[in-house]
Structure 1
Amino acid sequence: MLLIEMFVFLGTIAFAISGSLLAIQKRLDIFGVLLLGLTTALAGGVIRDLMIGNIPPTNLAEPQYFLVSLLASLSTIIFFERIKKFNHSIAFFDAIGLGVFTAVGANAVLSFEYSQPFLIITMGLVTGIGGGVLRDVFVQEIPQVFRKEVYGMASIAGSVALIISYDFVSPIISLYICLTVTFTIRMLALKWKWNIPVVGRKAKINRRTLNS
């Protein structure tokens, strides 16, 4: 599990940086930058734990995750001009974070001896995207998961892969499969600009047709 722990910290750092960068771009004060970084990195896990009855949430009971997120946000403030030049690297680490937190979220449900597939997929999704959704809502933006390249669907696919493989390989291998599937789909979506079809465009076309 050492590699998973390493990836968790890496994903936590990536999410904290992405939240802090957005806060700086929105011209928030230092407290706002730190809060948005912490929210992005920790909120998904907190929401998941509250929903499955793991109280207090792991992200709050074990301060190392808070401290890592805080240090990442502070570093983003200090080195903002340098960090903002590496958007592609941040997207890469963000994809790792999505894969890791999806795997960790789905596995948390299994560790509590819940076996319902829908619950496993939901908790993997909540853990993976929860922080990012709150981040965007706090700065009054439509969450990226609703309007950008395949993101939430990558998380769902990873959780499904974990469920399918769980009975055939060891639990740790199924976690790596979940991580790999989620990460690969997310990176391919970024590279090839895969998007979920937008309903609004079709609605506009239909409206024009009706008006004509």
Structure 2
Amino acid sequence: MDMTLWNLFEILGTGAFAASGALMGIRKRFDFFGVLMLALITAVGGGILRDGLMGNLPPLALRFPRYSLLALVTAAAVFLSPRPVQRLERLIQVLDAVGLGAFTAGGGLLAIQRGFGEPFMVVAFGLLTGVGGGILRDVLAGEPPLVFRREIYALASIAGALLLLPLNRRMGVEAALYACFALVVSLRLFCVLRGIHLPVARKG
């Protein structure tokens, strides 16, 4: 597998997740430490939750802290100069989709490798890795989580994770990873560009 390319996807996604957490903290008037922590939780919180549920302890984000450090550096840069980042909203959405795809695929594959090979568990761990940090970000910031507000976000993660198990069995790890990644990213960006949302219930 071309891990250099895959690591690039993870780096871009981590930076985008961290930037979204930092911007949320700035909007909520958090101090410097608060912005750093919100960015860190957004970037690696889903993976920490996943590892805790798997019994994969200490979590990978603590054993191999390069992505945690990347999130902190990104958050500090956004805190010091938020306006240029805010003007790159569309780029951040693209990179966020890249992160969602990479983390969904990576989380689901880790579940398979650690013996949690039932389809529901593969999807659950892939989904948790992809969206868990964003949910924690929104809850800590006092916002309704994005994944509960019409956005085709969690569903894109689920759709990609569903491919992992059958493709891993038939075509191997690399094909499964990239197919999951490609489906999540393309579905998420297609819905953003076309303004496609889930329906919401009517009041009364």
Using structure 2 for the length normalisation, give the TM-score. Answer: 0.96
Which of 179-188 and 60-69 deviates more? 60-69
Which residue of 128, 135, 138 corresponds with 1:136? 138
Matches of 1:143 and 1:114, distance apart in 2: 27
Alignment of 1:100-111 (within 5 A): 100-111=102-113
Q: Is the 8 A contact 2:112 2:122 kept in 1?
A: yes
User: May I ask how many residue pairs the two structures share in their alignment?
Assistant: 202
Query: Could you say what the CA RMSD is over the residues aligned between the two structures, in angstroms?
Result: 1.0
- The SS at the match of 1:19 is helix
Taking only the aligned residue pairs, the percentage that are identical comes to: 40
Q: Is the 8 A contact 2:150 2:199 kept in 1?
A: no
**1:146-175 Cα distance to aligned partner (Å, 9 max, x none):** 004200000000001222312221201110
Residue 176 of structure 2 corresponds to residue 174 of structure 1: yes
Structure 2 counterpart of 1:137, one-letter code: V
Match of 1:183? 185
In our comparison, the structure showing a higher alpha carbon Rg is 1
Q: Is the 8 A contact 2:150 2:200 kept in 1?
A: no
Which residue of 142, 155, 158 corresponds with 1:153? 155
Match of 1:165? 167
Match of 2:53? 51
Matches of 2:26 and 2:49, distance apart in 1: 25
Matches of 2:143 and 2:155, distance apart in 1: 20
- The SS at the match of 2:170 is coil
Matches of 1:24 and 1:167, distance apart in 2: 45
Structure 2 counterpart of 1:193, one-letter code: G
**1:83-104 Cα distance to aligned partner (Å, 9 max, x none):** 1101000000000000000000
Unaligned runs of 5+ in 1: 208-212
Which residue of 85, 91, 98 corresponds with 1:96? 98
Match of 1:194? 196
- The SS at the match of 2:51 is helix
Match of 1:19? 21
Shift of 1:79: 2.0
Which residue of 123, 126, 136 corresponds with 2:125? 123
Alignment of 1:67-106 (within 5 A): 67-106=69-108
Q: Is the 8 A contact 1:137 1:143 kept in 2?
A: yes
